[in-house]
Amino acid sequence: MPTLNVNGRVLSHDAEPETPLLWVLREQLGLTGTKYGCGVAQCGACTVHIDGVAMRSCVRPVSTIGSDDKITTIEGLAGPQGQVHPLQAAWVELDVPQCGFCQSGMLMAAAALLKANARPSESEIRDSITNICRCGTYNRVQAAIQLVAKR
């Protein structure tokens, strides 16, 4: 049975090779924090990290993920239970979400950005965070990313 390294745990699945990673995470592994939005890698609701790089999981076949690849979902962003990632704290502090649907993908994209660039400019944030928020919380997302970058 194939396995995936998700949030530091090796988990088995029995998905067909062409099944998108999103559906394996949600339906077989029970990690429902990663959301389905568009199915064509445009909206970013399905963003996860693969080896620290933000990826859209709705179009990534599970067969393209190696057993050594490390997948991080929103459930694993903060690390061990009880911890809060600095971005999650900033999201709460600045009341970023409205409906919240896109926020797990936004957080994952923001975390990858800050890992690659600890002090991004406003234009770098706008260029990097291409996730769609139907509620229009972009200004608050940017403010939260900048708040974490300053800390």
Give the pLDDT confidence score for residue 104 in this predicted structure: 96
Closest-CA residue to 62 (of 54, 76, 50, 74): 50
Residues of the chain with pLDDT under 50: none
Give the pLDDT confidence score for residue 80 in this predicted structure: 73
Q: What is the CATH number of domain 3-76?
A: 3.10.20.30
Give the pLDDT confidence score for residue 42 in this predicted structure: 94
HEC per residue, the chain = CCEEEECCEEEECCCCCCCEHHHHHHHHCCCCCCCCCCCCCCCCCCEEEECCEEEECCCCEHHHCCCCCEEECHHHCCCCCCCCCHHHHHHHHCCCCCCCCCHHHHHHHHHHHHHHCCCCCHHHHHHHCCCCCCCCCHHHHHHHHHHHHHC
What's the pTM value of the predicted model, to 2 decimals? 0.94
Give the pLDDT confidence score for residue 6 in this predicted structure: 97
Give the pLDDT confidence score for residue 79 in this predicted structure: 81
Sorted by where each begins, the domain ranges of the chain are: 3-76, 86-150
Considering only the top CATH level, what class is 86-150?
mainly alpha
For residue 17, the cross-strand partners are none
Give the pLDDT confidence score for residue 151 in this predicted structure: 87
